[in-house]
Amino acid sequence: MTSELQLWFDPSKCLIAGEWVAPVGGQVLPLIDPSTGQDIGAIARGQEADIAAAVAAAEAARHGPWGRLSAAERGRILLTLSRMVAARADDLARIEAIDVGKPLKQARADAVALARYCEFYGGAADKLHGQTIPYMDGYTVYTLREPHGVTGHIVPWNYPMQIIGRSVGAALAAGNTCVLKPAEDACLTALAFADMAKAAGLPDGVLNVVPGLGAEAGAALCAHPGVHHISFTGSVQTGVQVQMAAARNVVPVTLELGGKSPQVVFDDADLEAALPFLVNAGIQNAGQTCSASSRILVQRGVYDRVVAAMAARYQGLQVGSALADLDVGPLISRKQQAIVSGFLDQGQDLQIVGQGQLVNAPNGGNFVRPTLFAGVAPSHALARDEIFGPVQVVIPFDDEDEAVAIANGTDYGLVASIWSRDGARQMRLARKIRAGQVFINNYGAGGGVELPFGGMGKSGHGREKGFEALYGFTVLKTVAAYHG
Query: Could you list the active site residues?
Result: 256, 290
**Smallest distance, Å, CB 1 to ligand NAD?**
22
**Should residue 203 be labelled a site residue for ligand NAD when binding is judged by CB under 6 A?**
no
Q: Which stretch binds ligand NAD (CB under 6 A): 88-96, 114-122, 150-158, 267-275?
A: 150-158
Among residues 114, 183, 192, 407, the one that binds ligand NAD under rule CB under 6 A: 183
Altogether, the residues listed in the chain come to a count of 484
Which amino acid makes up residue 441? Answer: N
* Of residues 218 and 354, the one with the C-beta less far from ligand NAD: 218
Instruction: Enter the DSSP assignment of 8.
Output: S
**Should residue 33 be labelled a site residue for ligand NAD when binding is judged by CB under 6 A?**
no
Which amino acid makes up residue 482? Answer: Y
3-class state of residue 103 by DSSP: coil
Which amino acid makes up residue 235? Answer: S
Q: Which stretch binds ligand NAD (CB under 6 A): 52-60, 72-80, 177-185, 346-354?
A: 177-185
Q: Which stretch binds ligand NAD (CB under 6 A): 62-70, 228-236, 423-431, 436-444?
A: 228-236
> Whose CA is closest to 442, among 291, 285, 324?
291
Q: What is the Cα–Cα distance from 470 to 167, expressed in whole angstroms?
A: 9
Residue 111 contacts residue 83 (beta carbons within 8 Å): no
Total Cβ atoms within 10 A of residue 138: 9
Among residues 258, 330, 378, 457, the one that binds ligand NAD under rule CB under 6 A: 258
3-class state of residue 12 by DSSP: coil
**Should residue 154 be labelled a site residue for ligand NAD when binding is judged by CB under 6 A?**
yes
> What residue number has its CB nearest to ligand NAD?
214
Q: Which stretch binds ligand NAD (CB under 6 A): 156-164, 296-304, 315-323, 461-469?
A: 156-164
Size of the site for ligand NAD (CB under 6 A): 26
Strands (E), 119-248: 132-133, 139-147, 150-154, 177-181, 207-209, 229-233
**Should residue 392 be labelled a site residue for ligand NAD when binding is judged by CB under 6 A?**
no
* Of residues 321 and 333, the one with the C-beta less far from ligand NAD: 333
Strands (E), 128-186: 132-133, 139-147, 150-154, 177-181
**Should residue 186 be labelled a site residue for ligand NAD when binding is judged by CB under 6 A?**
no
Q: Which residues, 6 or more positions from 215, have their beta carbon under 8 angstroms from its beta carbon? A: none
Among residue numbers 367 through 386, which ones bind ligand NAD (CB under 6 A)? Answer: 386
Among residues 11, 46, 156, 165, the one that binds ligand NAD under rule CB under 6 A: 156
**Smallest distance, Å, CB 337 to ligand NAD?**
11
Q: What is the Cα–Cα distance from 442 to 366, expressed in whole angstroms?
A: 31
**Smallest distance, Å, CB 331 to ligand NAD?**
9
Residue 354 contacts residue 334 (beta carbons within 8 Å): no
* Of residues 59 and 184, the one with the C-beta less far from ligand NAD: 184
- H or E stretch covering 357: strand 357-360
Binding mask 282-301 vs ligand NAD (x if CB under 6 A, - otherwise)?
A: --------x-----------
**Should residue 455 be labelled a site residue for ligand NAD when binding is judged by CB under 6 A?**
no
**Should residue 466 be labelled a site residue for ligand NAD when binding is judged by CB under 6 A?**
no
Among residues 43, 242, 328, 433, the one that binds ligand NAD under rule CB under 6 A: 242
Instruction: Enter the DSSP assignment of 464.
Output: B
Residue 376 contacts residue 395 (beta carbons within 8 Å): yes
Among residues 103, 218, 262, 347, the one that binds ligand NAD under rule CB under 6 A: 218
**Should residue 219 be labelled a site residue for ligand NAD when binding is judged by CB under 6 A?**
yes
User: What are the residues facing 32 on neighbouring strands?
Assistant: 39
CA 8, 53, 248, 476 dihedral sign is: negative
299 φ/ψ angles, rounded to the nearest 5 degrees: -70, 145
Residues that bind ligand NAD (CB under 6 A): 154-158, 181, 183-184, 214-215, 218-219, 222, 233-235, 238, 241-242, 256-258, 290, 339, 386, 388
